[in-house]
Structure formats: C-alpha cells, structure tokens
Amino acid sequence: MKILLIEDDVETADYIAQGLTEEGHVLRSFADGRDGLFSIKGEEWDLVIVDRMVPGMDGLNVVKALRCAKVKTPVLFLTALGGVGDRVNGLNAGGDDYLVKPFAFAELVARVNALGRRSHTIAAETVLRVGDLEMNLLNRAVTRNTVPIPLQPREFRLLEYLMRHAGKIVTRTMLLEHVWDFHFDPKTSVVETHISRLRAKLNRDEAPELIHTMRGAGYSLHAPS
Amino acid sequence: MRLPRFLRTTSFRLTLLYAGLFCASVLLLFGAIFWFGTGYVADQIDRSVSNEISEISAHAAVEGPDGFRQTVALYVKDAPAGVYYLLQDVSGRVLAGNIPAMDPIMGLRSWPRRKDGGNFPVGRHGVRGRGVSTAEGTYLFVGLDSVELDRMRALIAKAFLWGLAATIALALLGGTVMSLGLLRRVEAISQTSRRIVAGDLNRRIPMHGTNDEFDHLAASLNTMLDRIQGLMEGLQQVSSDIAHDLRTPLSRLRQRLELARRRAHSVDELHDALDSSILDVNAILETFAALLRIAQIEAHTHAVGLAPIDLSDMLGGMIDTYQSVAEERGQKLCGEIAPGLTISGDRELLPQLFSNLIENAMRHCAEGTTIVLRAACAATGIEVLVSDNGPGIPAALREKVFQRFFRLEHSRTTEGTGLGLTLARAIASLHGATMQLSDNQPGLRVQTIFPGEK
C-alpha cells in the first residue's frame, strides 16, 4: 500500500516508517500538517496516517480539509491524547480509525491492513464466505459445510467482523472496539473466552480450525490451506 | 496621613452616609416644627391684635366723634407692658398712643427683635401688629410684643442644634462601635487566611456560635478550606503513590534488563527478556493511561457530551459479554435488569464503569461465587447494583478502596492497577451518580444511583 504519514516526532515517524516498509508498504512521511495535506491532494494514496498534534496544521483540521475536498482516502489517527471524547472528535472529523500512543506495532500493522482499500469494497455484500464457512447477512444465518450453526448475537458480530477481515490479522483491541464497543482494556479474558466459544461452535465434527491465533498480535480467520 | 483603620472601613463609610441622612431628616423635622410652632404663636398674636382693634372700634363708635382718640388714650392708660397703640392723623401727627408715629401702612406689620434696640423704639422685643384706617380717616395701629414668638424661635433653634449634635455624636459613636465589631470579625478571617498562606493549613476561622451572617461566612469558608485541604492531601497522596507504585515495576524492569544483559547467552533468551520487559512497560503505561483518564474524567464538567442511553440494553450487553467469562472462571453471573431504563450518559465511559465493577467482583472472588447485576428504578433515581457473595470488604475500608492505588491486603498479589474503582467512581460522578459499597451478607454490594432521565 502507498501510505502517507504525517507525524512530527522524528523517532516515532522512523519507527512507523521502518516497520511499515518492512511489511511491504510504501511510505512517505511529513512533519508538517500543511505539507502533508498538500501532498495528499496532489497524489493518489491508499491510506493516510495522521498524528493529532502536528505543527503547521492540526491533524484534525487536516482530515476535515481532506473530507471537504471529497478525498475519500482512509485515515488513521494517531494520538497521545486518548482523552474522553477525543476519539469521537477524531472519527467525527472524518477519520476511519483511531490509535492511541503508545501502541504495539502489531496493533498498527493490523489496523493499517484493515483500513486498506480492498476491505471497503465488500461492505455491500450480503453473503460472506471463507472456505466452507458462509454467513448470510440478510437472514443472519451461518453455515459451515451447509450445516447451520446457531450463534448468539454477540458471536454473530464477532464472526462477521472476522470474516470481513478474512485473511488479515485483527487485534484484541480491534475486536473490543468493533464487536463490544469497549474502548478500554478489560482485565478479564473477554475476547479469548468468546473466541474459544465461537471456535467450539465452528469446529464441530473435527472440522479444521478457521480462527487462528497469531501470537502477540491477534486473530486471523482464513480457510485451511 | 493614614486614617485609623476603622475609619477606612466600609461600615464606617456607611455610618457616615447614614449620619448625613439622619442630619437631613433632623433638619426637616425641626424645620416643620419651627414652621408650624411659630405659625401658631403668630396666629395667636394676630388674633389678639384683631380683637383689640375690634374692641377699640366698637368703643369709639359709642363715644361718638373723636371717639377713637379718647378710646385709644383710655386704652394706653391701662395698657399692660408689651401692648402698643398708636393713633395718628393723615399728616402723621400722633393723636394718642404709646409709640412714636410711623408710616401708615395697612395690614399686618412686624418688626424683628433687635439686640441694639432697633429702629422700633419701644424696646428690645420684636413687635407684631396690624394697621387699619378708622372711620374718621385716621390711622390706627395696635401691636403686641412678640416675645413669645422670639422665645419659641430661639428654643426651637437651640433644640435643633442640640438634637443635631446628639445625632451626629450618636451616629459616629455607633458607627465606630459597629465598625470596630465588624472589623474584629473580618480581622479574624483575614488573620486566619494569612496563617493558612503562611503554611498553617489546619487553621480554621473561629465561629461565634451566634449563627449570624459572619458565622455563616466562616462556616462556608471553613468547608471550602476543608475541601481544598482534602484535595491537596489527595494530590500529595497521589503523587507519592504514583512514585511509589511505579518504582516497583520500574525497578523490576531494570533488574530484568540487567540480568538479561549479564546472563543471556542466546538471541532467543534475549528476545524472551525483551518480551517480558515490553510487558512490564505496558503495565506501567497502562497505569499512566488510567491515571490520565481519571484526571481527565474528574476535570470534566458534568453533563458534557452526555446523551440519552438505553441502560437496560447496555447492561444486557454486559451480562451477555461477561456471562461466559464468569463461567470460564467457575463463577456465575446473573442479571435482573428492568426493561426501558434510560439515563443520560457517555456511551464510551459507561461500559467501562460496569465492566470495572463486574470484573472486580470476578477477580476478587473465588470459584463458585455468584455475581448478580441488578438495575431498577428507585425513589432516588435509577439504581444499579453489582453484588457478589465473595469475601467482601471490611466496613472501615469501604471508602478507602476508592482511593488511587489502594489495594486490599489479600488482593495485592492479583494483577491490576489499583485504579479500577477510582475510575468507576470518577465516571459515576461525571454522570451525577453516587457510588457506595455495602455489605451483601456475605460479600460486597456496589450500589450506583444515577439521576433519572429528565
């Protein structure tokens, strides 16, 4: 992916640039909000990562200006703020995701991949398929190898999120945010418990594992290869 | 030159203002007395003069021609002191009377009192009388000594001066006494505040027990001082707690890194050491994040960004989320949620509040414990109860557990920042809700009461 980064802290910018480049992305970083905005408008990008507080122009205003100019490039906010209401402000300004510093690198990578262009094209689908697993979004039915699997509403949301990001890594935090609407870190194994229950339901009759645990990163749903 | 302090007080200035007003009213009062009093006496004199003139006229009519001269002469002979008669012809010649000739002016006439004898040659008193022309064409004047009038005027003037002096003296005296009294009370307050500024933070403003406005002021100021002191002590406590609580994981981190530096023989071993170090750092960062969040929530003003929230729905989701987690831990979570409960709240913060309470119950209770989440409409608002039948918290410590980093002895070993309940209560306060711990007999009961939706 071609990613534009607006971040004034040189060390953080290097850390992000180096890591994402290793992941195979092409990165260009700007330390100034205005320069960044100018470049976003001038070229085609797959993703923009913006720090909330950068010189020149506040990150929030950069994104507002972007959305005003009808630029639809996905935006990931980075912030050291993490205060009450900051996340909502960021999303209201037109950001697509919000990551609070300090963050684990795996978290950033997972979110960058989740925000990639391709993920947004499947939104209109009515049936999600991964291997022999099928989810009908209209009648909310899930089948594996044509056998119906009854799911609780929360389990359905969890599986839907995993299927929409099939083949990609989703972190625990991403699941908490999108499936539970939890914007904090629970002290108990909320995600793990629900994942293991979902697995148990999906893997009846010795069926091969679909939800894979990526150590230190999160989970990934993909068909057995 | 600086005036004495009490002369510069507001109350003394007010006193002066009132003294001025009193003087003005005394002046008005005496003016009225003067006007009506002297008017009455003058009226008496005028009436006597008129009677006398009528009598003379009647007498003269009986006497016939030249009756006026004879009558006046007769009256003059018997005249008591202070009664004056004058009859003069057109040429100004005195026909009878006991005073010299004068301008024949008709009507009321008066001469003021003259200390030097004056131009009215009959003495030192003022004279008031009336001149008329008789049927014979002569000019008749009858006058009366206005000594009564003069005396009355003098008396009133004297009374006025004394009254004025007394008014001023009393006003100034009263003002001074009042100012000194007020000044003493105010001085007590400012002295206390100076002491507090100087560092004696336990000092409080003395109360007189009179329940007056100064006592009220002192009471509110004392309450304010208590609150400030509480906050300051809290702040001091927090900073030392932060320092203390973070020193432990930081020194552990340091030890681990040092050990890895010395002992690790392979890359894998180093990686392991780094991984656990990152976990340590994460824990520290988490503590900071929680502290920051609490501070931000506490600094938030009430009702900012609050929107109506279906509490029943949210709590249902909580049970749905945590039921399986509890089962996994060998515990039971059940809910009794009344439907249709609505509060105005923050959609991001409220789940954290309930999550903290439920997870607290789960983490501090043993296997086999039952945790109940209840929500219902109560008289005072909407009540949410999280109760368990676990070990509970001794009554003496139930307030303390809300303090930052406070952890019960038996839970020191469990994972956690010691900030969960602090954060929960901060979120509750933001919603105008109260949070209280009580005995569930056995176990702990956390009661949160939200104000009902307006």
Same domain, A88 and A161: no
pLDDT confidence tier of residue B412, bands split at 50, 70 and 90: low
Q: Residue B207: pLDDT above 70? A: yes
Which CATH number covers residue A157?
Answer: 1.10.10.10
Q: Is A189 an 8 Å CB contact of chain B?
A: yes
Q: Is B429 an 8 Å CB contact of chain A?
A: no
Q: Residue A149: pLDDT above 60? A: yes
Helix axes B213-263, B267-299, angle to 10 degrees: 170
Compute the average pLDDT of residues B20-39.
88
Q: Residue B121: pLDDT above 70? A: no
**Span of B88-97, B157-166, B335-344 with lowest mean pLDDT:** B88-97
pLDDT confidence tier of residue A120, bands split at 50, 70 and 90: low
- Write the CA distances from B183 to B5, B196, B209, B212, integer angstroms: 9, 19, 18, 15
CB within 8 A of B101, min separation 6: which ones?
B86, B88, B92, B93, B94
Q: Is A183 an 8 Å CB contact of chain B?
A: yes
Dihedral-angle region of residue B133 (phi above 0 means left; psi in -120 to 50 means alpha; beta otherwise): beta
Using a 10 angstrom Cβ sphere, with 0-12 exposed, 13-18 middle and 19 or more buried, the burial of residue B380 is exposed
Q: What is the pLDDT of residue A220?
A: 92
Compute the average pLDDT of residues B83-92.
85
Q: Residue B118: pLDDT above 60? A: no
Q: What is the pLDDT of residue B104?
A: 82
Tokens of A114: 């989740």
Class of domain B5-151: alpha beta
For B289, the 3-state DSSP assignment is: helix
Choose among B374, B395, B398, B392: nearest CA to B449. Answer: B374
pLDDT confidence tier of residue B73, bands split at 50, 70 and 90: confident
**Span of A9-18, B1-10, B61-70 with lowest mean pLDDT:** B1-10
Q: What is the pLDDT of residue B119?
A: 54
Q: Report how many domains make up chain A.
A: 2
B contact residues 274-293, partner A, Cβ 8 Å cutoff: 275, 282, 285-286, 289, 292-293
Q: What is the mean pLDDT of chain B?
A: 85
CATH superfamily of domain region B307-450: Histidine kinase-like ATPase, C-terminal domain (3.30.565.10)
What stretch of H or E contains B84? Answer: strand B83-88
Buried b vs exposed e over B337-367: b needs ≥16 C-beta within 10 Å? Answer: beeebebbbbebbbbbbbbbbbbbbbbbbee
Q: Residue B376: pLDDT above 90? A: yes
For A170, the 3-state DSSP assignment is: strand
B contact residues 22-81, partner A, Cβ 8 Å cutoff: none
Q: Is B272 an 8 Å CB contact of chain A?
A: no
Q: What is the pLDDT of residue A124?
A: 67
How is chain B split into domains, by residue range? Answer: 5-151, 228-299, 307-450
Which CATH number covers residue A37?
Answer: 3.40.50.2300
pLDDT confidence tier of residue B362, bands split at 50, 70 and 90: very high
Give the nearest chain B residue to A158 (CA atoms). Answer: B321
- How far apart (Å, rounded) are the C-alpha atoms in residues A38 and A56? 12
Instruction: Please answer yes or no on whether B328 and A193 come within 8 Å at the CB atom.
Output: yes
- How far apart (Å, rounded) are the C-alpha atoms in residues B432 and A202? 44
Q: Single out the residue in A119, A150, A172 at which a domain terminates.
A: A119
Q: Residue B256: pLDDT above 90? A: no
**How much of chain B exceeds pLDDT 90, in percent?**
21
| pTM higher than the cut 0.90 | no
Number of residue pairs across A and B with CB atoms under 8 Å?
Answer: 68
More confident residue, B235 or B113: B235
Instruction: Please answer yes or no on whether B317 and A180 come within 8 Å at the CB atom.
Output: yes
Q: Kindly report the CATH number that applies to the domain delimited by B228-299.
A: 1.10.287.130
Same domain, A134 and A210: yes
Instruction: Please answer yes or no on whether B285 and A102 come within 8 Å at the CB atom.
Output: yes
Compute the average pLDDT of residues B434-440.
91
Tokens 């302090």 sit at which residue? B5
Same domain, A9 and A92: yes
Residues of A in contact with B415 (CB under 8 A): 187
Among B285, B297, B322, beta carbon nearest to A84: B297
pLDDT confidence tier of residue B102, bands split at 50, 70 and 90: confident
What phi and psi values does residue A212 have, to the nearest 5 degrees?
Answer: -105, 135
Same domain, A64 and A83: yes
Instruction: Please answer yes or no on whether A154 and B289 come within 8 Å at the CB atom.
Output: no
